[in-house]
């Protein structure tokens, strides 16, 4: 049975869809592990075949990607973590790797979209020999343009001084803008999933601060080059959208330059989340790549 908060937040969602979401949650109970004082939650589900790590984006929880996960677990073992409250990219990397070590998973494939794509690249830089396939979606990479870090620092400084309630309102609106392009009935579902994280206190000002701290950490402290990435055995797929509002100008081109051996797929008009707006095509693309 669902709880009162769920029923209130998802009141505009059809009964059948509410039942699907709740059934998914009842059958996908997170595991927990503590890594250097940080408590990690993660889903471990699917088959015993190829392992696919699914990293969440800026919302820091895998709930927004539940439909994609539900499809992928038919063919892969899925490890889908939530991020603890930290702005250290090294903490996120070590946490994900500790989960995999705990589950005795050595070799794995990995997908990360948006902020998850940044975490993915940090992991890939540390252990390229463990990653067979990497899918870097709707994100950017390290930039040699100093204005990028300046912009991130300005935004972080503003977030720090604003009241928490105002920050969460701004963050919620920003996340919902990323849902543009999704059909109305589906958009209601995903807007409710976003609302739920804020209502339950799973996304607060602290999480947004950590988000920008992580982006700055990545830009300043995780240095790798096209020359180094071209030496990796990892197969890389870059997924992007031509009209992506969630990626800074120039980031897409920088990603191409960083991974010269990567395969690239461009969605023409699918916004920041083609995994939702074009899920069938997205799944076909993933399956073809992961089998290669």
Q: Where in the chain are the domains?
A: 4-290
| pLDDT digit string, tens, across residues 244-259 | 888 877 777 889 999 9
Contact 239, 211 (CB under 8 A): no
Rounded Cα distance, 75 and 73, in Å:
5
Q: What is the pLDDT of residue 192?
A: 97
pTM, to two decimals: 0.95
Q: Among 3.40.50.1820, 2.40.240.20, 1.20.1560.10, 3.40.640.10, name the CATH number for the domain at 4-290.
A: 3.40.50.1820
Q: Of 200, 204, 194, which Cα lies nearest the Cα of 85?
A: 204
Rounded Cα distance, 53 and 120, in Å:
9
Rounded Cα distance, 168 and 237, in Å:
33
| pLDDT digit string, tens, across residues 38-72 | 999 999 999 888 999 999 999 999 999 999 999 99
- Residue 51 has which token pair? 């392992």
């Amino acid at each position: 049975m669902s709880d009162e908060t769920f029923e209130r937040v998802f009141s505009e969602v059809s009964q059948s869809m509410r039942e699907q979401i709740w059934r998914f949650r009842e059958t996908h109970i997170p595991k927990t592990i503590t890594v250097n004082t940080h408590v990690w939650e993660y889903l471990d589900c699917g088959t015993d075949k190829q392992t696919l790590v699914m990293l969440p984006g800026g919302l820091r929880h895998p709930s927004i990607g539940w439909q994609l996960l539900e499809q992928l677990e038919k063919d892969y073992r899925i490890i889908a973590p939530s991020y603890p409250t930290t702005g250290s990219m090294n903490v996120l990397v070590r946490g994900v790797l500790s989960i995999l070590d705990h589950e005795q998973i050595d070799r794995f494939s990995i997908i990360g979209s948006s902020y998850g794509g940044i975490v993915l690249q940090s992991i890939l830089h540390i252990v390229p020999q463990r990653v067979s396939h990497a899918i870097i979606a709707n994100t950017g990479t390290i930039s040699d343009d100093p204005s990028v870090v300046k912009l991130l620092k300005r935004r972080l400084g503003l977030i720090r001084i604003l009241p928490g309630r105002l920050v969460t309102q701004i963050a919620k609106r920003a996340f919902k803008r990323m849902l543009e392009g999704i059909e109305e009935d589906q958009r209601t579902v995903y807007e409710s999933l976003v609302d739920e994280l804020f209502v339950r206190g799973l996304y607060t000002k602290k999480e947004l601060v950590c988000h920008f701290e992580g982006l700055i950490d990545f830009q300043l402290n995780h240095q790798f080059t096209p020359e180094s990435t071209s030496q990796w055995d990892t197969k890389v797929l870059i997924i992007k959208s031509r009209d992506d509002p969630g990626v800074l100008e120039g980031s897409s081109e920088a990603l191409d330059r960083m991974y010269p051996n990567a395969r690239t797929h461009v969605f023409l008009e699918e916004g920041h989340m083609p995994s939702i707006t074009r899920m069938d095509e997205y799944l076909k693309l993933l399956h073809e790549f992961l089998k290669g």
